[in-house]
Amino acid sequence: MAGLKDYVNSKVTNNREKIEYHIKEILKLIGEDVEREGLLETPARVTRMYEEIFAGYEVDPKDVLGVSFDEQHEELVIVRDIVYYSQCEHHMAPFFGKAHIGYIPSGKIAGLSKLARLVEAVTRRLQVQERITSQIANIIESELSPHGVMVVVEGEHLCMCARGVKKPGSKTVTSAVRGEFRTSEALRSEFLALLKQ
């Protein structure tokens, strides 16, 4: 399956003229001169950017894991430091960070790149970090039926850093635990220790 960047967001593409019109109107409403050289192509550029940053609407995240492989591996698998970019649904301001995924297969494993694509599919839409974390864990649990899943997501939110309370550098950390990770402190500790290495 191609990466999300290879998809064209048809919802945006089909409404390109309308979106460009409204971006132009917003620029006027905030006091800009939409005829000045630097802004002439801005509505079109913003629309093309929307096609990319909202590409997650074009796929069902459950489909991203795709083909799984039958392996007799039932030990912890971790993919960490998966960089993501998303948009806060409350302010439409960017937030970004890293996702870390650990799971204990029950004989069925996913290709490692599929986990990164799952993060991309979930984050490339209007979101909140708490939902991202839960959705990733829930999809892995439902599609792979592992013994356990743990997901940790770190994020820096511009809606908090650049506006409002204005606390740059502050990070939000969320986690979701499923299956054996929920009942085993030793497993949670192993996962967190491996993240620090």
Q: Which residues are annotated as a binding site for Zn(2+)?
A: 88, 91, 159
Phi, psi angle pair for 155, to nearest 5°:
-150, 145
- Cα–Cα distance measured from residue 85 to residue 62, given in angstroms and rounded to the nearest whole number: 19
Non-local CB neighbours of 117 within 8 Å, separated by 6+ positions: 1, 3, 4, 64
Q: Which residues are annotated as a binding site?
A: 88, 91, 159
Residues labelled as active-site residues: 88-91, 129, 157, 159
Question: What are the DSSP calls for 112-143, one per residue?
Answer: HHHHHHHHHHHHSSEE-HHHHHHHHHHHHHHH
Q: How far apart are CA 19 and CA 50, in angstroms?
A: 10
Please report where in the chains the tokens 């913003």 appear, as a residue.
46
